[in-house]
Amino acid sequence: MEQQKAATRDGYGKALLELGKQNPNVVALDADLSDSTRSEYFAKQFPDRFFSMGIAEQDMIGAAAGMAFSGKIPYASTFAVFSERAYEFVRNVVSRNRLNVKIAGSHAGIFTGEDGKSAQAIEDIAAYRALPNMVVLQPCDSVEAEKIVFALAGYKGPSYMRMHRNPVPAIHNSNYKFEIGKGEILKQGKDAVIFATGTLVHEALKAADILKNEGVNVYVVNIHTIKPLDNNLVIDLAKKTNCVITAEDHNVIGGLGGAVAETLSESYPCIMKRIGLQDKYAESGKPDELYKKYGLDAESIAEEVMRIVNKKR
């Protein structure tokens, strides 16, 4: 049942606050964007456990690393694109030492909309996925964002959680059982499989309905954990359909499409198409208009899937 729309960043803020009530070792840091990342929910309730680091992402990651060394569980948030300013700190301090730092990057992808390409992170998944020891996650709705925040509290190690600015409908309810590293089949099919992540899960579900009216039945799989990828599920559905499509609001280089292609190239080569930003920046505009222009909307996905399915036939 579809619930009221909410942004994944809202789910992050809500869960971080609840987690803070349950675990006194949880601390939060932000780089002068707590109102946008929603870490302000935590800050207002626990001002002594919240650290506003200003526009200094390197300092934020360094401080978070020190807190992790001290036994705290730090959640450090900023815009996804700005988190990359601290990439060398994340590499040499956090990931290299397997520190228990939870990085949260909001306003990811061209779904950020009117803020334009300087704020639209389309390379962050690729960057963080390349770091050893780093878990990379992207929720498709606010409920899943909440589940991820709690799951990460029980996971010891570095992680990057990708979030979005604008609200989307809820796919899940409060009974949803989330597990790091396990893909979620949302629709059954036989002609092809769409592995989608984040906002593109919604577009893939709508595309599946369009395709069904054309006599094409596709699996839709929510890949909330891009690393470690659910390789067994990817290979299994590739064998069943011999037709794989990936869909993401990210550059096709290095993102979910790259991860799936790497797995299949070594295990089960098959017909495949990566839907995403075709190695280009977008521009300022309304999210739905940008999705249509760059081929990320449901209609464009359905057209591409139909083309690939016909190719297979």
| Set 2, 18, 40, 57: catalytic member | 57
Letter for the amino acid at 295?
Answer: G
3-class DSSP assignment, residue 147: helix
Letter for the amino acid at 147?
Answer: K
Whole-number Å distance between alpha carbons of 187 and 209: 10
- Of 311, 248, 306, 11, residue with least CA distance to 144: 11
Whole-number Å distance between alpha carbons of 220 and 204: 7
- Burial label, 214 (beta-carbon count in 10 A; 0-12, 13-18, 19+): exposed
Q: Is-contact 37 25, C-beta < 8 A? A: no
- Return the beta strands (E) in 197-270 as ranges: 218-222, 225-227, 243-251
Chain CA centroid to CA 257, Å: 13
Letter for the amino acid at 189?
Answer: G
Whole-number Å distance between alpha carbons of 244 and 212: 17
Letter for the amino acid at 227?
Answer: K
Active site residue 57: yes
DSSP state, 84?
Answer: G
Q: Identify the bridge partners of residue 211 per DSSP, sorted by sequence position.
A: none
Q: Map tokens 């016909």 to a residue.
A: 310
Letter for the amino acid at 101?
Answer: V
- Burial label, 70 (beta-carbon count in 10 A; 0-12, 13-18, 19+): exposed
> Residue 66 — φ and ψ, nearest 5°?
-60, -40
> Any idea which residues carry the catalytic annotation?
57
